[in-house]
Structures are given as structure tokens and as C-alpha cells.
Amino acid sequence: MSDRYFLDTNIIVYAYENEDLNKQKIAKELIIKGVSNNTASISYQVIQEFVNVATKKFKSPIKWSDCQLFIDRSLALIWDVNPNKELIYSAINIAERWKYSFYDSLIIAAALEAGCSTLYSEDLQHKQKIYSVQIINPFV
């Protein structure tokens, strides 16, 4: 079993925004550990969603240049999964079988494609296993 893990967008958002300091600490630790041990993974979708939230929905939206700097210094180091036909087909299968939204299914499919055994997310069903990936809410 792999000790690689995938980080959903909400984990990345908590790492950058300081609304909840406990969640921020946990999220930052997951990113730092994943970068230093080469065990974390994210997808193109996570980058897109983070940029959208950070520049439009944060209480104090971040500047585009700061967003790019955050991507360059941390997220790019764990960005492993890009869109492809197989990822889409896998997400469709997951959405149909487990009744997740298509976009949540893309996150799960990306975790599978990256070879991760754990998917950290606050938004998905805690402790559910989908194929070889177990969903864990790191904040419970």
C-alpha cells in the first residue's frame, strides 16, 4: 500500500487562509510533509479551484502575483495529475457508482491516478474507501 496522499482543494485553502488557525496548522503540516517527503499529490483541478477561491472568495482576496508565488513555491512541487481522457472516464465511473458530483469524482479519480492510498478532504465522506483510496477528514 502506498503512503502517498492526495490533498483536496479545501486543504490547500485552509493552509493559506487564516480564518481557522487549527485547520490552517493541520493543512500546512500536510503540505510541508508532502513536499519534503515527496508523498503528497494534487491535480490541475485543485490548482484551478484554489486560484478561484483565493482571488475571489477569501475575506481578503490575494493578489494574482501572491497566488502565483504560492503555486511556484509549494503547490507546483506536488502537482502530479493533469486532465486526460482516462481521468474523465474514471470520474464518470465514480460519479455513477458512488453518487458523488462529477467534480468531487474528478478529485477521487486524480487521487487514484496519482497512486495515493489516502485522500484528505473535509468535503467527502470520512473513512469511505473507493477502490484503493480511503477518504480522511484531517480535521475530525
Domain residue limits at 59: 5-136
- Going by pLDDT thresholds of 50, 70 and 90, the confidence category of residue 17 is confident
Beta strand 129-130 with 133-136: parallel, antiparallel or unpaired? antiparallel
- Going by pLDDT thresholds of 50, 70 and 90, the confidence category of residue 52 is very high
CA 114 to mean position of chain CA atoms: 12
Q: How many domains does the chain have?
A: 1
Residue 136 near residue 119, CB atoms below 8 Å? yes
Say how far apart CA 86 and CA 22 lie, in whole Å: 37
pTM of the model: 0.96
The predicted structure's pLDDT at residue 2: 66
Q: Any idea what the CATH number is for the domain that residue 38 is in? A: 3.40.50.1010
Burial class of 94 by CB neighbour count within 10 A (0 to 12, 13 to 18, 19+): buried
